[in-house]
Chain A
Amino acid sequence: MANRGFVSRGRIAGLTLALILLAPRLSFAHPLGNFSISHYTGIRVEQDAVELRYFVDMAEIPTFQEIQETGIVPEAEHPGLTGYLARKAETLREGLVLEVNTSQLRFQSESREVIFSPGAGGLPTMKLGIVYRARLDGAASTGLSHLRYRDANFPDRAGWKEIVAVEGPGISFVSSSVPERDRSTQLTDYPTDLLNSPPQTLEAVVTFTREGSAPVVAMIGPPGSPSPESFSPLPSEAKEPASGTERAVRPREVEARVQTDAKPVRLQTNQQATPRNAFTELMTTKELGVGIVLFALAAAAGLGAFHALEPGHGKTVVAAYLVGSRGTAWHALLLGLIVTASHTAGVYLLGAVTLYASRYVVPERLYPWLGVISGLTVAGLGFYLFLRRYASKNHPHAHAHPHEHGHGHHQHGFVGHSHGPEGAHASDHHRHGKPGDAVSLAQLFALGVTGGIIPCPAALVVLLSAVALRRIGFGLLLILAFSVGLAAVLIAIGLLMIYARRFMSRFQGEGLLISHWLPLTSSAVITVLGVAIAVQALVSAGILQIRL
């Protein structure tokens, strides 16, 4: 009978077990390998400016090197970062070339941000985001203009290299060598599959036109900005048709004025985990060694044993039944085994169902129904036993006689044959249930199955985690070990009950207490338990509400 508290404890135990045993490395490393440096540029062409949103995503090793070289502290709000960012923005800018109509534009960084996210083993990775802006003033002609962009930072270094270009208001693209939308959501998501390998774009060429006439050069500076003397473009110079040689010799520089209303940079951490070396992953698992595997199995068994001591799993049912019947050690063993088998099967089954039907059925919803079915079966069995034993109360004879056929026949609907030393005449199926029944196999089976069928959440969590981490075999083995532990405790309890009964009977002989009241009580208890299981399941499903 699981109560809320038990369930969550069980879940936590299961999860912890899963985590310890199955997933020694759940931390996510950088998606593109831990020495990669990924770049993203978002080019936005506007009427009078070009905005470059430049992102750099550094994996663990380059982040480490950066920290070593600059002495920065990998904490987002650290004061030392402001100066670092300003310097870094300048350094990175030097590796970028932006030309419009062969005039090289100068741009300045407007907003900068850096975040540090934990990568493999919690080691820091870093992501820089800088918005640069370049004024176009006259560099773009009224007709077609050509933009060329090149990113020469971190050449030859592995990574995701993406450029996109979008039109601002009043601009329309005639052609573009790069798409409008990026695949990486600005370096937070690195979807990589067979047909979509990481882009390696470091150059962009865009042809665009401006709607309407050439804009007036507007000198809108930031509030409180220095005087306009610092501004020195010469529109006439810029418009000069450049000849071939001049183009090569002297790129025109157009001073750019910086606007401050650029959208701030928003950085996010990555979504994927690193692609690992699949073989060594497996291999290193093997390297866990026999010792660790054995330890894991022992831990699972221990957990199962401990779990059996918790309320639930028909432990009480087992005990009650064995006390009420004339069970033997062998019965106890059998019952324990049946419970284990049904528990294991239950977990496997539920696990399989969960996986294949996870789109349609939420696993949590299955539990209560399993509980209800189990409870009702147990209650039914208990009730049947109770009836039988109550009925036999009316027969003064404690021993069956072969000639009492009448009753015998009625009893066979449900039970099978009885075994065991007490049922020495087992082959004689005319014997009807004695008070203090001999244990029947079918009853045993039914009890065992219903007692164990409810897979406890802890075990299910272990199995599902195993599947998620692709260590199914190991997961199944762990569940088995769990069930063995469970069985061991149940068997022990069963044995305890049996010897307690015998102990009592030795003292008091086959007195009325032992031969009559005990069995009756036990079957009553079983019935009550069954009902309680069913009720609790219904409550947990929210179908019944009980106010206590």
Chain B
Amino acid sequence: MHTLRIARVLIVASISLLALGLGTPWAQAPTPDQTIRLYQRQVLRKPHDAGAYYRLGDAYIQKARESGDVTYFNLAEQALRKALDISPRFSDALRHLAYVLYSRHDFAGAATEARKATELNPADPHAYGILGDAYLEVGKYTEAEATYRRMIDLDSDLYSLSRLSGLKSLRGDPEGAIADLQRAIKAGKTEGRPRESIAWGQWQLGSEYFSLGNLQEAGARYLEALSTYPNYYRALAGLAQVRTAQKRFPEAIELYQRAIAIIPQPDYAAALGDIYARIGRPEEARRQYDLVEYIGYLNSLNKILYNRELGAFYADHDIKLTEALDLARKELEYRRDIYAYDLLAWTLHKNGKSQEAHPAMTEALKLGTKDARLFFHAGMIYRGIGETEKAKEHLRRALATNPSFHIFHAEVAERTLQELEGQLTLREIQEKGRGQ
């Protein structure tokens, strides 16, 4: 009776779907849990089939992305290595393995495996994609660009286009990045990619708009991502950021809380704490800040790296500045991308070493990225070393790029700019500061 009921439901469902036409084929994709079970059974039936292990590994990777649980990356690695044991020249498995390593921040390892994959199968765009990603994360931008070019030459699907857009964004071409992302999302829908992947693309688009200061569009994109993949934690946090900028604080609080309920990331907790601090709820702010530190401490024990987020948190809140500098230096040791340089510059500056910060900041700005935070940091550092003109220029750029780029720093930028422009005397600044 029970089975009959299910059968009936299925028949009705499939008829309805057919009747609706193929409007949204990607809505039918099975959940990662179902896929995992499916391929586990397949592996049981065919224990010597490399393909079965590969597909299982793929399912685990997808689950890992959605849940944020590192267990699944380890399981994925196991599955992929089994596949490679059976079939050592299985380039797809190599590429997926590269992705797992990349997710663990083992960029050198990821690059090695990805390179092997490209050698075995020079026609695989995604292998180049991951190789390019690995280059990007460690700051080898020229190599990344070259690799991405090869990727795009081979195929322009959701993943390739998203990657390319990321590069364009870094290089200070947000319009290009936006165009690419729009194409990417369209491609993803047509190709029936997993909902989470499409939502990621939509989230990325929202971030682009936000960094340009276009809060309206950003919010719309994030909402789209949420309708694609309900409760997508990235989109929740992104939307929360937009609401913060729009000063719609209660909504922002709720959104951050929802995001944290799914995956408690330190930067979400920091942002939530900042909102509480801003609206005068210091107790709750304190709790969120404690949570940030707690996560950071735990992750140092469990070797999940949040060095950047923690370092930025300390520097932004003027606490544990020596430790922040330490974290920044550590981060730079194995990742020499512009954001690592930015963190180093900022923490040096906060530790009163603005002179040393200057070359690091220059490094961070070298790609011409249109990022208000970078400009803000640069402005403050230039002020620290007494280069008033450069300071003003950068602070202006920060505010022009996105006038509400941060709940506190935007105002700091404004005040500092005004001070530099001589419109405020020292006393007026002090009074303003006290009134906050």
Q: Write the residues of chain A forming the contact surface with B, with a CB cutoff of 8 angstroms.
A: 25, 27, 29, 32-36, 60-62, 64-65, 68, 120-121, 123, 144, 146, 154-159, 175, 192-198, 200, 205, 207, 274-281, 283-284, 287
| Nearest A residue to B284, CB-CB | A68
The segment from B195-203, B296-304, B348-356, B376-384 found at the interface with A is B296-304
| 3 nearest A-B residue pairs (beta carbon) | A279-B106, A158-B69, A280-B303
Are B302 and A68 in contact, with the CB atoms below 8 A? no
What's the Cα separation between A62 and B298 when bound, in Å?
12
Q: Does B101 contact A (CB under 8 A)?
A: yes
Q: Does B434 contact A (CB under 8 A)?
A: no
List B213-267 residues whose CB lies under 8 Å from chain A. Answer: 231, 233, 261-264
What's the Cα separation between A194 and B1 when bound, in Å?
35
Given contacts A197-B36, A275-B70, contact A192 B264 (CB under 8 A): no
> What is the minimal beta-carbon distance from B235 to any residue of chain A, in angstroms?
13
* Binary contact readout B168-180 vs A (1 if CB under 8 angstroms, 0 otherwise): 0000000000000
Are B74 and A275 in contact, with the CB atoms below 8 A? yes
| Nearest B residue to A25, CB-CB | B301
Are B105 and A279 in contact, with the CB atoms below 8 A? yes
A64 contacts which chain B residues (CB < 8 A)? 290-291, 294
> What are 5 contact pairs spanning A and B, CB under 8 A?
A60-B298, A64-B290, A121-B301, A157-B261, A194-B79
Are B72 and A197 in contact, with the CB atoms below 8 A? yes
B303 contacts which chain A residues (CB < 8 A)? 276-277, 280-281, 283-284
What's the Cα separation between A154 and B262 when bound, in Å?
8
B297 contacts which chain A residues (CB < 8 A)? 121, 123
A200 contacts which chain B residues (CB < 8 A)? 33
Are A280 and B263 in contact, with the CB atoms below 8 A? no
Number of chain B interface residues as a range: 35 or more
B263 contacts which chain A residues (CB < 8 A)? 35, 158
Are A32 and B71 in contact, with the CB atoms below 8 A? yes
A25 contacts which chain B residues (CB < 8 A)? 301
Contact of B71 among A123, A144, A157, A198 (CB under 8 A): A198
Q: Does B210 contact A (CB under 8 A)?
A: no
Q: Does B358 contact A (CB under 8 A)?
A: no
Q: For chain B, what secondary structure do more than half of its interface residues adopt (helix, strand, loop), or is it mixed?
A: helix
Known: A65-B264, A121-B298. 4 other contacts (CB 8 A): A64-B294, A195-B44, A196-B40, A197-B75
Are B305 and A280 in contact, with the CB atoms below 8 A? yes
Are B67 and A34 in contact, with the CB atoms below 8 A? no
> What is the minimal beta-carbon distance from A190 to any residue of chain B, in angstroms?
9
Q: Does B115 contact A (CB under 8 A)?
A: no
Most buried by A among B1, B2, B291, B301: B301
What's the Cα separation between A155 and B67 when bound, in Å?
11
Are A120 and B298 in contact, with the CB atoms below 8 A? yes
| Nearest B residue to A119, CB-CB | B298
A68 contacts which chain B residues (CB < 8 A)? 287, 290-291
Are B231 and A155 in contact, with the CB atoms below 8 A? yes
Are A274 and B302 in contact, with the CB atoms below 8 A? yes
A278 contacts which chain B residues (CB < 8 A)? 74, 77, 104
Are B2 and A197 in contact, with the CB atoms below 8 A? no
B2 contacts which chain A residues (CB < 8 A)? 146, 175, 205, 207
| Nearest B residue to A276, CB-CB | B303
B333 contacts which chain A residues (CB < 8 A)? 287
Contact of A144 among B1, B70, B82 (CB under 8 A): B1
| Nearest A residue to B109, CB-CB | A279
Are A275 and B71 in contact, with the CB atoms below 8 A? yes
List B326-343 residues whose CB lies under 8 Å from chain A. Answer: 330, 333-334
B63 contacts which chain A residues (CB < 8 A)? 197
Contact of A61 among B56, B72, B73, B294 (CB under 8 A): B294
| Nearest A residue to B260, CB-CB | A65
> What is the minimal beta-carbon distance from A197 to any residue of chain B, in angstroms?
6
What's the Cα separation between A504 and B285 when bound, in Å?
81
Q: Does B43 contact A (CB under 8 A)?
A: yes
Q: Does B60 contact A (CB under 8 A)?
A: yes
A120 contacts which chain B residues (CB < 8 A)? 298, 301-302
Q: Does B78 contact A (CB under 8 A)?
A: yes
A158 contacts which chain B residues (CB < 8 A)? 67-69, 263
B82 contacts which chain A residues (CB < 8 A)? 194
Are B262 and A156 in contact, with the CB atoms below 8 A? yes
> What is the minimal beta-carbon distance from A95 to any residue of chain B, in angstroms?
13
What's the Cα separation between A193 and B76 when bound, in Å?
10
> What is the minimal beta-carbon distance from A333 to any residue of chain B, in angstroms?
42
List B48-66 residues whose CB lies under 8 Å from chain A. Answer: 53, 56, 60, 63
> What is the minimal beta-carbon distance from B112 to any residue of chain A, in angstroms?
12
What's the Cα separation between A280 and B295 when bound, in Å?
16
What's the Cα separation between A146 and B261 when bound, in Å?
33
List B98-152 residues whose CB lies under 8 Å from chain A. Answer: 101, 104-106, 109
What's the Cα separation between A156 and B264 when bound, in Å?
12
Given contacts A121-B297, A197-B60, contact A277 B304 (CB under 8 A): yes
A157 contacts which chain B residues (CB < 8 A)? 261-262
> What is the minimal beta-carbon distance from A44 to any residue of chain B, in angstroms?
20
> What is the minimal beta-carbon distance from A191 to any residue of chain B, in angstroms?
12
A35 contacts which chain B residues (CB < 8 A)? 68, 263-264, 295
| Nearest A residue to B53, CB-CB | A194
> What is the minimal beta-carbon distance from B218 to any residue of chain A, in angstroms?
23
> What is the minimal beta-carbon distance from A511 to any residue of chain B, in angstroms?
68
B33 contacts which chain A residues (CB < 8 A)? 200
| Nearest B residue to A196, CB-CB | B40
| Nearest B residue to A195, CB-CB | B40
What's the Cα separation between A544 and B399 when bound, in Å?
87
B334 contacts which chain A residues (CB < 8 A)? 283
> What is the minimal beta-carbon distance from B41 to any residue of chain A, in angstroms?
9
| Nearest B residue to A177, CB-CB | B2
Given contacts A68-B291, A121-B301, A205-B2, contact A279 B231 (CB under 8 A): no
| Nearest A residue to B233, CB-CB | A156
| Nearest A residue to B103, CB-CB | A277
* Binary contact readout B27-44 vs A (1 if CB under 8 angstroms, 0 otherwise): 000000100100010011
A62 contacts which chain B residues (CB < 8 A)? 264
| Nearest A residue to B75, CB-CB | A197
* Binary contact readout B359-388 vs A (1 if CB under 8 angstroms, 0 otherwise): 000000000000000000000000000000
| Nearest A residue to B6, CB-CB | A205
* Binary contact readout B289-333 vs A (1 if CB under 8 angstroms, 0 otherwise): 011001101110111110000000000000000000000001001
Are B106 and A283 in contact, with the CB atoms below 8 A? yes
A159 contacts which chain B residues (CB < 8 A)? 69
A34 contacts which chain B residues (CB < 8 A)? 298-299, 302
What's the Cα separation between A278 and B301 when bound, in Å?
13
